[in-house]
Amino acid sequence: MMSLLFKNLRIHQIFGANTNVGKTILTTALVRASAARDERGDTYYYKPVSTGPLEDADDLHVQFHTRRWPSKVHVECSFRYNDPVSPHLAVQMDHKSPPTIETFTSSIASNIRQCAERTSGFGHMYVETAGGIHSPTPCWPSFPTQADAYRPLFLPTILVGDAKLGGISTTIAAYEALVLRGYIVDALVVFNDPTGQSRYGNSDYLNTYFSERGIALTALPHPPEKLEDAEENQSVTERYYDDLLSSPPLPRLLSHLDSLHHSRIANLESMAERTKENIWWPFVQHASGGGVNVIDSAYGDFFNVLGPSSSRSVLHPQLDSSASWWTQTFGHTNTRLTLAAARAAGRYGHVMFPRATHAPALALSEYLLSPHGPGHEWASRVFFSDNGSTGMEVALKMALRTFVRRREAYLITNKDSLVGGVEVDQKVKRAYERRLGIIGLKGSYHGDTIGNMDACEESGVYTCEWHDCKGYWFDPPRVVIRQGQTAVKVPPDMMKDLSAHDSIVPPEQKLTNNLLTFPSLAHVYDVSSRLKTPLYKQYTTYVARKLWTLRSSFRITNTEDEKDRLAKNELTEQPTELAALVLEPLLLGAGGMIFVDPLFQRALADVVRNPQEFPVFTSSVQSPTSSHHSTESSTPTSTFDSACVAEPPLPHSLPIIFDEVFTGFHRLGPLTPQKFLGNAHPDIAVYAKMLTGGLIPLAVTLASREVFDAFYYAPHSEPVVGSQKNQIEKKPGGKEDALLHGHSYTAHAVGCEVANETVKMMPDIVRGVEHKAMRNIWTQWWESSPTGEGMIEQKRPPSKLDWSDPILLLDRTSGSNGSNEDAVYSLWHPAFISNVSRLDLVEDVMALGTVLAIRLKEVGGSYTSTSAETVFEPLCQILPPTSTPTSSFGPAKATPGSLSTPGYSIHFRTLGNVAYFMTSLNTTLDVVREVQARIWRILNDKPLVEMRNVKFGIRKVEST
Ligand SMILES: Cc1ncc(COP(=O)(O)O)c(C=O)c1O
C-alpha cells in the first residue's frame, strides 16, 4: 500500500474510458491551467508508461505546450517503449526485461513522493495512465491491467469519457470498473464529438447519468484535427489550449478538484472526533480514552491510515498484523473476491433461504462436503448463518438436541426412567434439559452471544450479569517453544498425575519444570504416532476419571425432592449433565493464543466417544462401568485402546463440536486442524472468518447425518421394535422438532459466492512458492537438529540476529520438497522463533501456519494486562523497512526518514501479556521478515526492557 495524499500536493490520475479519448489533451490542458494559477506552487506531469516513438511521446507534447512555465512545470516518464502497442507487448518487442508489479508501483510511488517532498507552495500533479483503464501494464508475469496495477497507489481519478459512437457504453463500463476497485472518481471529462455538433449526444447522456451519481461532468470542445504541417499543427493546438484556459469549464474543473482534495483531507481530519461522538466500539472501554485509527482505505496487508497532523503526508501505510481480527485470507480488496461479490449481488441481491436454494449456496455446500472440503468423511449437511458466533450458537443447539435424542434412545432401549427420560414429568424433563452443560477447555472462546458465553468458563473477563456458564473446563497442556526447545507445558494438577508415573515418560523426553520436551513441532503434531505413547493413555485416564467424578457430582439422583427442586428451577448451581464436548482445535485464540497439545484434545474426543471410558447414559450413579473411575484418587488404569477409538460416534457417546471459526481454512497450515488431531472428526464443525477471504461475513455449521436426524425425527416414544436390541422406531418430526433457527441473511448469495471464489483461490497459494519455501525451511530446521534435542538446541543464539533468508534459501533448495501441504510449518521463520524464545523478556513463543504468538513474562499476566501492548507499542512508529528486500520491491534510492521512503507502521493486537501477529495466506515473506526484524529490535531494546520490567515486576519471575 502506498499512501499518496499530501497536504501540499493535489494529485489526480487520468484514466481513459478507452485508448484515444483525449487523455493527453486533457492532461496538458490541466497542467497549463495549474501552471497559470496565480498561486505559488509547482505542477507535475507524470507519464509512468509511454509506448510509441519518442517524437510522438505524450510527455514531450506536454513539455512543448507548457514551455511558457519552464520553472513551474516538471515532466517525467518512467518506463518508455518504442512500439505504439499495448505496454505488455511493447516491453517484449523492445526485448527489455519487464518490471515486476512491485517495482512498477513502487517506482511510481517513489516518484510521486519525491515531487511532494520538493514542491513549493501548493502543487498539482497529474499522472497520465496508458490506454484504457483495462489496458495491460508491462508488469511481469501477469501483465495486470492498469485499473489493478495502480490500485495500491489509490490516487483520486479523473475519467476521460469517450465521445465517439459507442462511447457512452465504454465510459459507463470504465466507471463501473473503477468503482468496483474502490477508486474515488472526482470528475468525468468528455470532449464533444468530432463533428463538433454533439451528433452522438454522449456528453448530454453522460451528464445526466453521472450527475445522478454525484459526479460532475465537464464537457470540452473537441481538439483540432492533426495537421500535416508540424508547425501549423503546433500553433493550432496551442490556440486550442489557450481558448480552453480562457473559457470557464477548465478553471471551474480545476477549482472543483482542489476543493475535493481539501475536503477529503478535512473530512479525514474530523473523523476521529465525530467517531468518538457517534460510535460505540466493540471490546473497547470508552472511558480509557485513546486515539482513533482513521482508515482511509486498505489494500493487500495494509491499511491506509491518517497520520500525524504535523506531517505533509496525510496518510501512511499501516500493516494489518492481526489480519483484521483473523479474517484475512488474501489481504484486503482482492479483485477476484470483489467481482464475485458483485456477481452475486447483481444476480440475486439477497433472497430468503428456507425452502429455497440458489447456485452459490448449493455449490458451497457441495464443496464443503466433498473430498476437497472440511466435512469430508463425516459431515452430511451444511447450515448457513452469518458470523462465527451464530454458527457456534447453532452448533450448540445441534449438539444439545443430539445429546437429548441419544439419551432418549438409550433410555427407551434400556427401559430406564432416569430424570429427563421420556417417562418422567415433562416439567422436570424441561428443567433438566435447560441445564445441560458442556465439556470444554479453560481459555475457550466461541463468540459473544449469550449461549456461546455460557459455554465458556466463569473466570474470564466475561463474568457479568448475563453470563451463566454451564459445564466443565479442563486446564489444557500447552505447546510452547521456550529457550529454543519445543515442549508441552503441563498444568500443575495434571502434572501431579504425570509425575506420579514418571517412568512412563519416554527417555527421549525430559520432564522438568512441567515441560515435556519434543524434538520438533512436527513430532508434537504427529498425533497418529503419539496415540501409541504412554502419554496418550495418561491423558485419557486423567480425562475419564475427571469426567466420571464430575458426572457423579452433577447427577440428579432422581429422588422426589430433587425432581421437585429441579422443576422449580432451584438446582441451578451446576449443570444437570455434561452433554457435549466443545473444542477450538489446536488453538484457543481469544483466550490468549494458547496452542493446546493436540494429543490432549484428541484424548478428550476419544474419551467422550467411548462409553466404556465415559459411560454417559448409565442409569446408576453408583455403578460406573469402570469402577476405577469412581474416585479421583484411584489408580489410573485406563482400559483405553487407541485402536478402538469410537469413530464414527457411538449412539451412547457425547456429540463433539469443533469450533474452527478461527483455525479453519489454512489458518494453521492444513485446510482443517482436524489433520493435526490425527484426523479426528467432530459431529459438528463451524467455519467463518477465512471462509469468505475476509471480505464478507458468513458462517457455516457442518453436521453429521445423525445430528441432522436428531431434528428430523420426533422423540422416540416406542420401545425396541424387532429383534435387534438398539433398533428404535423413528417417526418423522413435527415443526417443533425442526432446527428453529434462522437469520434474515441466512445463506446470503453474496457471501456464498465470495466463499466459492475463496476456496478456489486458496490451494494455489498454499501450493505456491512462498509456502513451499517455508515448509522446506521448517523441515530442514528439524532435520538439522542432529541431537534430536528440541528445536534448535545445538544452534546457539547468534551474536547478531542471523536468520537465513527464506527466499534465498528457496533458491538453494529448489527442487527439494516443500510440497507436502500437511507438513507442520509456519510463515514465521523457525530461527526467529527460536531466538525470540531465548530472550529474557519472553516466557515462550509459538508459531503455526500464519500465526505467531509471543508470551511475555509477567507476574499474574491476564487478559486485562497491558504488558504486551506496552512492550510492543513502538511498532506503531512509522519506519522505513529495515531489511534489504529480496525482490526488487521498494524504491532503490530512498533516503530513510524522507517522504520518498515508503515507511509503515504496524497495527497489532494483544491479549494481556501475549502479543500475536498474523499474516494472510499470501503475505510476502519480505513483509514477514520486516515484522520479525522490528519485533526483534524491540525485544532487544535495553531501556525499553528495563522500563517494562520495572512496570510489570518481572524481576521476581522465575522462568518455569
Ligand atoms: C474460535 C472462535 N469462535 C467463534 C468466534 C466468533 O466469531 P464472530 O466474531 O464471527 O462472531 C471467534 C471470533 O474470534 C473465534 O475465534
Query: Does residue 248 surpass a pLDDT of 50?
Result: yes
Residue 706 has a pLDDT of 95
Q: Which residues lie across from 578 on neighbouring strands?
A: 437
Which amino acid would we find at residue 930? Answer: E
Nearest to 699 by CA among 707, 708, 691, 711: 691
Q: Let me know if residue 340 belongs to a domain.
A: no
Q: Let me know if residue 51 belongs to a domain.
A: yes
CA 846 – ligand 1 centroid, Å? 21
Decide which of 264, 282, 317 is a domain's last residue: 264
CA 440 – ligand 1 centroid, Å? 16
CA 696 – ligand 1 centroid, Å? 14
Query: Does residue 460 surpass a pLDDT of 90?
Result: no
Of the chain, the percentage scoring pLDDT greater than 90 comes to 68
Helix/strand/coil (H/E/C) assignment for every residue in 611-638: CCCCCCCCCCCCCCCCHHHCCCCCCCCC
* Site to substitute for ligand 1 among 446, 587, 672, 863, most atoms within 8 A of C-beta: 446
509, 609: one domain: yes
CA 326 – ligand 1 centroid, Å? 9
CA 85 – ligand 1 centroid, Å? 51
Residue 610 has a pLDDT of 87
Closest atom of ligand 1 to CA, residue 452: 4
Q: Is 590 in the pocket of ligand 1 (CB under 6 A)?
A: yes
Summarize pLDDT for 195-241 with one digit per residue, the tens. Answer: 666 677 899 999 999 999 999 999 999 999 989 999 999 999 999 99
Q: Let me know if residue 318 belongs to a domain.
A: no
CA 173 – ligand 1 centroid, Å? 39
Q: How far apart are CA 570 and CA 435, in angstroms?
A: 11
Nearest to 575 by CA among 690, 472, 680: 472
CA 381 – ligand 1 centroid, Å? 21
**Nearest residue by C-alpha to atom 7 in ligand 1:** 388
Between residues 233 and 310, the one the model is more confident about: 233
Q: Is 662 in the pocket of ligand 1 (CB under 6 A)?
A: yes
What would the mean pLDDT of 107-117 be, rounded to a whole number? 94
Q: Is 447 in the pocket of ligand 1 (CB under 6 A)?
A: yes
Q: Is 453 in the pocket of ligand 1 (CB under 6 A)?
A: no
Span between the terminal Cα atoms of the chain, in Å? 42
**Nearest residue by C-alpha to atom 16 in ligand 1:** 662
Residue 628 has a pLDDT of 40
CA 661 – ligand 1 centroid, Å? 6
Mapped onto helix, strand or coil, the DSSP state of residue 66 is: coil
Residue 786 has a pLDDT of 45
Dihedral pair phi/psi, residue 185, rounded to 5°: -100, 110
Asked whether the beta carbons of 904 and 878 are under 8 A apart, the reply is yes
* Site to substitute for ligand 1 among 283, 392, 438, 918, most atoms within 8 A of C-beta: 392
Q: Is 661 in the pocket of ligand 1 (CB under 6 A)?
A: yes
**Nearest residue by C-alpha to atom 9 in ligand 1:** 388
- 102: which 3 cell numbers? 512491485
Residue 893 has a pLDDT of 32
Q: How far apart are CA 907 and CA 855, in angstroms?
A: 18
User: CATH number for the domain including 729?
Assistant: 3.40.640.10
Query: Does residue 629 surpass a pLDDT of 50?
Result: no
For 348-449, where are the alpha helices, taking DSSP H only? 359-369, 388-413, 426-434
162, 31: one domain: yes
CA 853 – ligand 1 centroid, Å? 18
CA 526 – ligand 1 centroid, Å? 27
Q: Is 446 in the pocket of ligand 1 (CB under 6 A)?
A: yes
* Site to substitute for ligand 1 among 389, 686, 687, 691, most atoms within 8 A of C-beta: 389
487, 628: one domain: yes
Stretch (H or E) spanning 123? strand 123-132
Residue 801 has a pLDDT of 43
Summarize pLDDT for 36-78 with one digit per residue, the tens. Answer: 998 889 999 999 999 999 999 999 999 999 999 999 999 999 9
Residue 958 has a pLDDT of 40
Q: Answer left, alpha or beta for residue 702, where phi above 0 means left and psi between -120 and 50 means alpha.
A: beta
Decide which of 758, 788, 809 is a domain's last residue: 758
**Nearest residue by C-alpha to atom 2 in ligand 1:** 446
What would the mean pLDDT of 246-260 be, rounded to a whole number? 96
What is the domain range of residue 885?
A: 768-820+825-956
Q: How far apart are CA 614 and CA 629, in angstroms?
A: 9
Asked whether the beta carbons of 511 and 620 are under 8 A apart, the reply is no
Asked whether the beta carbons of 175 and 146 are under 8 A apart, the reply is no
Q: Let me know if residue 291 belongs to a domain.
A: no
Q: Let me know if residue 300 belongs to a domain.
A: no
Q: How far apart are CA 408 and CA 270, in angstroms?
A: 62
746, 772: one domain: no
DSSP-assigned states of every residue in 517-538: EES-HHHHT-HHHHTTSHHHHH
* Site to substitute for ligand 1 among 586, 662, 863, most atoms within 8 A of C-beta: 662
CA 313 – ligand 1 centroid, Å? 36
The pTM for the full model equals 0.91
726, 860: one domain: no
Residue 459 has a pLDDT of 72
636, 729: one domain: yes
Asked whether the beta carbons of 756 and 336 are under 8 A apart, the reply is no
Decide which of 739, 758, 777 is a domain's last residue: 758
Q: Let me know if residue 122 belongs to a domain.
A: yes
Indicate the angle between helix axes 705-712 and 388-413, nearest 10 degrees: 70
Confidence of residue 649 (pLDDT cuts 50, 70, 90): low
Domain count, the chain: 3
Q: Let me know if residue 4 belongs to a domain.
A: no
**Nearest residue by C-alpha to atom 10 in ligand 1:** 388
User: CATH number for the domain including 850?
Assistant: 3.90.1150
Between residues 369 and 798, the one the model is more confident about: 369
Summarize pLDDT for 724-744 with one digit per residue, the tens. Answer: 555 566 789 999 999 999 999
612, 685: one domain: yes
Q: Is 387 in the pocket of ligand 1 (CB under 6 A)?
A: yes
476, 549: one domain: yes
Q: Let me know if residue 947 belongs to a domain.
A: yes
Confidence of residue 646 (pLDDT cuts 50, 70, 90): very low
User: CATH number for the domain including 200?
Assistant: 3.40.50.300
522, 439: one domain: yes
Which amino acid would we find at residue 463? Answer: T
Between residues 508 and 254, the one the model is more confident about: 254
754, 772: one domain: no
Q: Is 585 in the pocket of ligand 1 (CB under 6 A)?
A: no
Nearest to 934 by CA among 876, 852, 857, 853: 876
780, 888: one domain: yes
Q: How far apart are CA 161 and CA 192, in angstroms?
A: 10
CA 854 – ligand 1 centroid, Å? 21
750, 809: one domain: no
Sheet-wide strand order for 73-81: 73-81, 43-51, 123-132, 9-16, 157-160, 185-191, 217-220
Query: Does residue 867 surpass a pLDDT of 60?
Result: yes
Query: Does residue 287 surpass a pLDDT of 50?
Result: yes
- 702: which 3 cell numbers? 457442518
CA 322 – ligand 1 centroid, Å? 14
Q: Is 911 in the pocket of ligand 1 (CB under 6 A)?
A: no
Nearest to 557 by CA among 629, 619, 631, 612: 619
